[in-house]
Structure 1
Amino acid sequence: MNKNILRPTSLRSQSVSHRSLATCGAAAALGITTMIAATPAFAQDAEPEEVELETLRIEDDTADVNPYTQKGAPYKARISADPRRVKPLAETPATITVITESQIEEAGTTDLKEILSQQPGVTIGTGENGNAFGDRYIIRGEEARSDVFVDGLRDPGMTTRESFAVDQIEITKGPSATFAGRGATGGAVNAITKQASTDYNFSRVDLGIGTDNLYRGTIDTNWLLSDNAAIRANLLYSNQDVPGRDPANRERWGAAISGTLQVSDAVRFSLDYYHLTANDKPDLGSYVTASTADGYGEPFDDIPAFTQDGDFLKSDVDTVTGRIFIEPFDGFKIVNSTRYGESSNGYVTTGARGGVDGATIALSDHQGWQEVRYFVNQFNAISSFDTGSLAHTLIVGSEYSDHKVTNGVYSITNSGATNCTVSGRGGTRPGYCITDADGNLIVEPDAIRSLLGREITRDGSDSVWQVSALSFYAMDTVDITPWLSINGGVRLDATDFSLATRGEDYRQNETLWNGHAGISIKPVDEMMLYASWGTAKNINGGESDLGSNCGYGGFCVDPVNPAVSGRPESSTSFEAGLKWDLFDDRFLLTAAVFQTTKSDIFELGSDDYSIEGAINTGKTRVKGIELGVVGNITDRLSGQIGVVIMDAEVLESIDPDNVGLTLSNFADTQATAQIRYQATEQFAFGATATYKSAMYAGQPDSAASFNETAGRYSYRVPSYAVVDAFAQYKFNEHFSGRINVQNVGDADYYTAAYRSGAFLYKGDERRATVTLTGRF
Structure 2
Amino acid sequence: MKTDNTMQPLLTLRKPKFSPSAALAIGLPSLLMATPLLAQDDEPIVLDTMQIEERTVDTNPYAEPGAPYKAKISGDSRHVKPLAETPQTITVLTQTAIQESGDTDLRAILANQPGITLGTGENGNAFGDRYVIRGHEARSDVFVDGLRDPGMTIRESFAVEQVEITKGPSSTFAGRGSTGGAVNSITKQASTEYNFNKVQGGIGTDDFRRLTLDSNVSVTDDAAVRVNLLHAYQEVPDREPADRERNGAAVSGSLQATDKLKLVADYYYLKAEDKPDLGSYIDRTSGKPVKDIPVYMQDEDFLESEVNTATFRAEYDFTDNLRLINATRYGTTDNGYVATGTRGSTSLSTHQGWQEVEYFANMTNLFFDTEIGGLKNQFVTTLEYSSHKVINGVYDITNTGTPNCGTSYCFSDGAGNYYDDLNDLMQRQISKGVKDSDYNIDTWSLAVMDTIDLTDAWSVFLGVRADYFEYDNKVGRPGSVTEYKYSDTLWNGHIGTVYDLTENGNVYLTYSTSSNINGGESDVGGSCGYGGLCGDPTQVGDSKPEQTENIELGTKWNILNEKLLLTAAVFRITKDDVMESVGDSYATLGTLNTGKNRVEGFEFSVAGNITDKLSVQAGAAIMNAEVLESFNNGINTTIPTRGPNAGIPQLTSDDAGKTLANFADKSAFVQARYQLTDDFSFGANATYSSEVFTGQPDTAANEDLGVPSYTVYDLFATYEFSPQLNVRLNVGNVTDKDYYLTAYRSGAFTYIGDRRNAQLTVSYEF
Tell me, yes or no, whether TM beats 0.5: yes
CA distance in 1, matches of 2:589, 2:318: 58
Match of 2:650 in 1: none
Query: Which of these residues, 515, 539, 554, is aligned with residue 577 of structure 1?
Result: 554
Distance 1:388 1:534 in 2: 26
Cα distance in 1 for residues equivalent to 2:232 and 2:657:
46
1:336 aligned residue (313, 326, 340): 326
Please tell me the residue identity of whatever aligns with 1:206.
Q
Q: Is the 8 A contact 1:517 1:534 kept in 2?
A: yes
Corresponding position of 2:688: 691
Q: Structure 1's 563 and 387: CA in aligned 2 closer, same or farther, altered over 3 A?
A: closer
Which residue, 425, 430, 434 being the options, matches 2:411? 434
Q: Which runs of 5+ in 2 are unaligned?
A: 21-44, 633-652
The answer to whether the 8 A contact 1:376-1:402 is kept is yes
- Per the TM alignment, residue 612 of structure 1 is displaced from its structure 2 partner at its CA by 4.2
Q: Aligned pair in 2 of structure 1 residues 64, 717: CA closer, same or farther (>3 Å)?
A: closer
- 1:331 Cα deviation after fit: 1.9
Deviation string, structure 1 residues 389-435 (Cα, Å, up to 9, x no partner): 211101111000000000010011111111225xxxxxxxx211111
| Residues 486 and 540, structure 2, Cα contact 8 Å, conserved in 1 | no
Match of 2:433 in 1: 459
Which SS does the other structure have where 1:472 is aligned? strand
Partner of 2:741: 751
Q: Which amino acid in structure 2 is aligned with residue 669 of structure 1?
A: K
The letter of the residue matching 1:532 is: T
Q: 1:523 corresponds to which residue?
A: 501
For 2:593 and 2:96, how far apart are their aligned partners in 1? 44
Match of 2:125 in 1: 131
1:22–1:201 distance in 2 versus 1, CA, 3 Å: closer
Aligned to 2:661: 664
Instruction: Please give the alpha-carbon distance, in whole angstroms, between the structure 1 residues aligned to 2:101 and 2:438.
Output: 40
Distance 1:611 1:365, change over 3 A: farther
Q: Answer whether contact 1:722 1:743 (CA < 8 A) is retained.
A: yes
Structure-2 residue corresponding to 1:404: 389
- Counterpart CA distance in 1 for 2:751 and 2:606 is 30
Shift of 1:564: 4.8
Against the structure 1 CA distance between its residues 499 and 23, is the aligned structure 2 distance closer, same or farther, given a 3 Å change threshold?
Answer: farther
Instruction: Determine the structure 2 residue equivalent to 1:385.
Output: 370
CA distance, structure 1, for counterparts of residue 707 and residue 627 of structure 2: 19
- Aligned match of 1:675: 672
CA distance in 2, matches of 1:531, 1:573: 11
User: Distance between the aligned counterparts of 2:686 and 2:716, measured in 1?
Assistant: 12
C-alpha contact (below 8 Å) 1:550/1:611 kept by paired residues:
no
1:619 and 2:613 are equivalent in the alignment: no
CA contact (8 A) 2:449 2:462 kept: yes
Alignment partners' CA distance in 1, 2:16 and 2:390: 42
Cα 1:723–1:608 shift into 2, 3 Å: farther
Q: Aligned AA for 1:439?
A: G
Work out the CA distance in 1 between the residues paired with 2:273 and 2:324. 39
Matched, 1:157 2:151: yes
AA at the equivalent of 1:67: P
In structure 2, relative to structure 1, the CA distance for the partners of 1:568 and 1:5 (3 Å cut) is closer
**Deviation of 1:215 (Å):** 0.6
Larger Rg: 2
Separation of aligned partners in 2, 1:321 and 1:175: 26
Over residues 565-616 of structure 1, what are the superposed CA-to-partner deviations in whole Å (9 max), with x where a residue is unaligned? 4111110000000001110100111110000000111112244976745611
Distance 1:64 1:751, change over 3 A: closer
In the alignment, the residues of structure 1 paired with residue 577 and residue 202 of structure 2 have an alpha-carbon distance, to the nearest angstrom, of: 49
Equivalent residue runs for 1:99-498 within 5 Å: 99-290=93-284, 292=285, 296-354=286-344, 360-421=345-406, 430-441=407-418, 443-444=419-420, 447-498=421-472
Partner of 1:425: none
Residues 309, 332 of structure 2: 8 Å contact kept: yes
Whole-Å Cα distance in 1 between the matches of residues 173 and 765 of structure 2? 37
Letter in 2 for 1:672: F
What amino acid is aligned across from residue 625 of structure 2 in structure 1? Answer: A
Q: 3-state DSSP class of the match of 2:754?
A: coil
Question: Which amino acid in structure 2 is aligned with residue 615 of structure 1?
Answer: L
SS of the aligned residue for 2:424 comes to: coil
* 2:645 corresponding residue in structure 1: none
Root-mean-square deviation over aligned CA pairs: 2.2
Q: Distance in 1 between matches of 2:735 and 2:750?
A: 20
* Structure 1 equivalent of residue 618 of structure 2: 641
Aligned partner of residue 115 in structure 1, secondary structure: helix
Contact 1:315–1:344 (CA under 8 A) maintained in structure 2: yes
> Partner of 2:578 in structure 1?
601
Contact kept? 2:607, 2:618, Cα under 8 Å: yes
Distance in 1, matches of 2:332 and 2:271, equals 12
Distance 1:764 1:516 in 2: 40
How far apart are residue 456 of structure 1 and its match? Answer: 0.7
The aligned counterpart of 1:546 is 524
Partner SS state of residue 105, structure 1: helix
Q: Structure 1: how far apart are the matches of 2:358 and 2:397?
A: 27
Cα–Cα, structure 1 residues 653 and 567, in superposed 2: closer, same or farther, change >3 Å?
Answer: same
Q: Cα gap change, 1:310/1:729 in structure 2, threshold over 3 Å: closer, same or farther?
A: same
The superposition leaves residues 93-136 of structure 1 with CA deviations (integer Å, 9 ceiling, x where unpaired) of 00000000001110000000000000001110012135232101
Q: Quote the Cα distance in structure 2 between the aligned partners of 1:722 and 1:64.
A: 26
Query: For 2:675 and 2:383, how far apart are their aligned partners in 1?
Result: 46
Picking from 37, 55, 60, the partner of 1:66 is: 60
The match for 1:631 is 608
Identical amino acids, percent of aligned pairs: 53
Q: Would the aligned equivalents of 1:628 and 1:642 in 2 still touch at CA under 8 Å? A: yes
The count of aligned residue pairs is 713
Retained in 2: the 8 A contact 1:23–1:64? no
Displacement after TM superposition at 1:63 (Å): 3.6
Unaligned runs of 5+ in 1: 30-49, 355-359, 422-429, 706-712
TM-score in terms of structure 1 length: 0.89
Alignment match, 2:566: 589
Question: In structure 1, how many angstroms separate the alpha carbons of the residues matched to 2:621 and 2:219?
Answer: 47
Question: Contact between 2:14 and 2:55, CA under 8 Å: does it hold in 1?
Answer: no
Are 2:486 and 1:508 aligned? yes
Q: Is the 8 A contact 2:485 2:541 kept in 1?
A: no
Shift of 1:703: 0.9
Aligned mates of 2:586, 2:733 — CA distance in 1: 39
Q: Distance in 2 between matches of 1:584 and 1:5?
A: 15
Report how far residue 440 of structure 1 moved.
Answer: 2.0
Calculate the TM-score normalised by the size of structure 2. 0.90
How far apart, in 2, do the equivalents of 1:763 and 1:734 lie? 35
Instruction: State the alpha-carbon separation in 1 of the partners of residues 586 and 403 from structure 2.
Output: 30
Q: Which residue of 2 aligns with 1:38?
A: none
Q: Tell me, yes or no, if the aligned pair for 1:518 and 1:532 is still in contact at 8 Å.
A: yes
Given that 2:535 and 2:589 are in contact with CA atoms closer than 8 Å, whether structure 1 keeps it comes out as: no
Confirm or deny: 8 A CA contact 1:372 1:404 kept in the other structure.
Answer: yes
SS of equivalent to 2:108: helix
Deviation readout 1:172-218 (Å, 9 max, x if unpaired): 00001000000000100000000001012111000000000001000
What is the alpha-carbon distance in structure 2 between the residues aligned to residue 541 and residue 277 of structure 1? 28
> What residue identity is the alignment partner of 1:738?
R
Shift of 1:457: 1.2
Residue in 2 aligned with 1:78? Answer: 72
1:733 has 2:749 as partner: no
Contact 1:122/1:140 (8 A) holds in 2? yes
Q: Is contact 1:333–1:383 with CA below 8 Å preserved after alignment?
A: yes
Name the SS of the counterpart of 2:109 in structure 1. Answer: helix
C-alpha contact 1:325 1:333 (8 A) present in aligned 2: yes
> Does the C-alpha gap of structure 1 residues 537 and 459 become closer, same or farther in structure 2, counting only changes over 3 Å?
same
Residue pair 1:177, 1:515 contacting (<8 A) in 2 also: yes
Q: Match of 1:104, SS?
A: helix
* In 1, Cα distance between equivalents of 2:363 and 2:155: 22
